Structure 1
Amino acid sequence: MKLRAYKPDDCLTLAELFYQTVHTVNAKDYTVQQLAVWATGQVDLEAWDQSFLEHTTVIAEANGTVLGFGDMDNSGYLDRLYVHRDFQNKGVATAILAALEQKALLAEICHFVTYASITAKPFFESRGYFVIEENIVIRSGIQLINYRMEKTCTAHPHNPFVNQP
């Protein structure tokens, strides 16, 4: 597996990976109706491309296959982190998140925020994120639950990510 920066010709692949991941991996925690409004299959590719270009976006791939992606803005907000359904629990998300956090740390950003799905919440907790609040999103009249999670690092000689609740 290698990590690399986003290129505009990745956008469609990432949109497809997002759709497939939501509809398979997240199916254990959300209803069919919730999945349908979360990932409709109608992504605005121009808006996604612009967002990926404005953010630090990391792609994980192996043998020409995109395994996952994540993006973080310049305030430390982790917008998206998705791993292909066939590559779950293989360290892909961990590698992407570590790369994003490291790039942010180099830019002196030391506070991270994300909205984690029910499915992703344990992953983020294992990476030092704390639940700040449960969040309810309404899309097309359907309620989705996620969690606002945060992580703060402090200067530490061996580990910059000594976490503060």
Structure 2
Amino acid sequence: MNNITSDNQITIRKGVSADLPEMLQLFTATIDEICKQDYNLQQLEAWKSGTENEERWMKVIRDQYVLMAAIENKIVGFCTLDQGNYIDLLFVHKDHQHKGIASLLYQKVEKEALRCNEKELTADVSKTARPFFEKAGFQIVQEQTVNVKGIAMTNYKMVKHLIS
């Protein structure tokens, strides 16, 4: 996939293993700053501890369809698609919220799912991301409580039926 640049100089490209340190930093900073209105400190800390599982992140880069959004070579967001139909991760840098980056990444991921003849997209979505996913046409299948390091957190199993 070639780099695609839009008018506001956001470049979308495939993620590579060299992106991992910057991805992890963006992941934790975004959770700290953007999700704090929806989750308490214990929950945020448990969620961020996901960065400690290096094997999982290597597997994401190796096995998933990973897209990076960059402005002037700095990663400002990323989205991953697992097994062609599950959005595993979608994060946008805390300083670049509400600029269309998540939408741009999501559109490319949906396009990839359609290219793979998928009929639906699913995601486990945080309280913080729920409005974005609803705007993108996803519906809640169920509210769920997940345990991360013994800390209970609410998220939503969501689905979007794709029309090719």
Listed one character per residue, the Cα deviations across residues 35-82 of structure 1 (whole Å, up to 9, x for unaligned) are 010112743234312222211100000101101001001240100000
Give the unaligned 5+ runs of structure 1: 156-165
Structure 1 vs Structure 2 CA RMSD: 1.2
Query: 2:62 aligned with 1:50, yes or no?
Result: no
Query: 2:124 aligned with 1:124, yes or no?
Result: no
Aligned to 2:142: 133
Alignment of structure 1 residues 1-165 onto 2, 5 Å? 1-40=10-49, 42-155=51-164
The structural deviation recorded for 1:110 is 2.4
Q: After superposing the two structures, state which structure 1 stretch, 37-46 or 97-106, moved more.
A: 37-46
Q: List structure 1 runs of 4+ shifted beyond 4 angstroms.
A: none
One-letter amino acid matched to 2:146? V
Q: TM-score, normalised by structure 1?
A: 0.90
CA distance in 1, matches of 2:61, 2:113: 15
CA distance in 1, matches of 2:112, 2:125: 21
Preserved contact between residue 135 and residue 145 of structure 1 (Cα < 8 Å): yes
Distance 1:138 1:57, change over 3 A: same
| Aligned-pair identity (%) | 30
Q: TM-score, normalised by structure 2?
A: 0.90
